[in-house]
Structure 1
């Protein structure tokens, strides 16, 4: 079994504006960097064997700050944990998005579907789980994965059978969600904000 702590990246200027980032590589702002340092302190009671990050700069920098603050090795990049690709909706404000496309992300030209997002994120976590079990069997390995709100939302929906997150619930920057994975099955342990 592998314990997986997912953390959403710190704030960016586009988060502050309510703009859709998707796969657009927007950096952390100073608030986001402070959130990452705060998360490192809040997670001090949790031992991590490895740190992983999405390749997008905002997640990678969040992971680097946490790893540095905790004295951990540099994060390993895992491409499958990058944010939902929103296609033509990237760069729009959320209100503009709703006016133009409604509530369904699966109808946006050039965007990946929620199922595609879920499948690639699960495949990435499965690879992390397999690597952890090869390295440390029978020890339970604990990993931190810095990723994005859309990825965490998709995994929460998958692991909860569609009951989480609540409709309209926003996943805050630097929010923490803990899962367990054993041989491909993902189980939610808890979700709490840092």
Structure 2
């Protein structure tokens, strides 16, 4: 089973370096263009199902693709939202660091704690995604940067995810990027790509950094 994780397109908060968390922000003009480029790439692939965060920036990211492929089922989940940052939402990281220092607090004192966020991610992985293995070939999951980065990190820590040496993981994936995980069985996964954005630069030729279609058609994606 091939899982394609897409981070939502750019928002003004992204552009200005402000933390969104669970704030319901919209795509800016760059993000809307990214969503169209993404749809050009995705339309070359056979996708069986879409799971999407119920926040508007995620919905807007997948909208151009769903308009072109209306028969593909799409489900929206609050469980796919970004980490809730509480009253820290809307601030820059510099502002957050200053606030934590002045109030003598930590990130876990606001919104969702790190442990709560990981538990939410892993519960969705175990109860919604993994049961699809063996029944569906390819699932597209539209979510958020912190969500994808935390999932990859957690699966790797648990020893379930093989990360090839040629894939470098540096922080959260980029806006509208594709990160792919192949699930061979319920305890063995491989990271195929991380933060792939080639489709945003070569959308007219529908070129992507990784040949996902080839992976789809191989035994790996069963």
TM-score range relative to shorter protein: 0.7 to 0.9
Aligned residues: CA RMSD: 2.6
- In structure 2, the CA distance between the partners of 1:178 and 1:51, relative to structure 1 (3 Å rule), is same
Unpaired runs of 5+ residues, structure 2, are: 198-222
How far apart are 1:157 and its partner, in Å?
A: 1.0
What are the Cα deviations for residues 77-127 of structure 1, in whole angstroms up to 9, with x where unaligned? Answer: 12211110111211112221122237xx96343321223222212222333
How far apart are 1:3 and its partner, in Å?
A: 1.7
Unpaired runs of 5+ residues, structure 1, are: none
- In structure 2, the CA distance between the partners of 1:115 and 1:108, relative to structure 1 (3 Å rule), is closer
Alignment partner for residue 173 of structure 1, among 172, 175, 185? 175
Please say which of residues 175-184 and 18-27 is displaced more in the overlay: 175-184
Query: Contact 1:49–1:142 at 8 Å: present in 2 too?
Result: yes
What are the Cα deviations for residues 13-50 of structure 1, in whole angstroms up to 9, with x where unaligned? Answer: 11111111100100111211110111122234431101
Aligned to 2:148: 152
Larger radius of gyration: 2
Aligned to 2:56: 57
SS of equivalent to 1:160: helix
- Tell me the distance in 2 between the aligned counterparts of 1:87 and 1:110: 5
Query: Contact 1:63–1:75 at 8 Å: present in 2 too?
Result: no
Query: Contact 1:106–1:114 at 8 Å: present in 2 too?
Result: no
TM-score by length of 2: 0.72
Please say which of residues 108-117 and 16-25 is displaced more in the overlay: 108-117
Aligned to 2:17: 18
TM-score by length of 1: 0.82
Query: Contact 2:173–2:195 at 8 Å: present in 1 too?
Result: no
Query: Contact 1:37–1:69 at 8 Å: present in 2 too?
Result: no
Query: Contact 2:8–2:61 at 8 Å: present in 1 too?
Result: yes
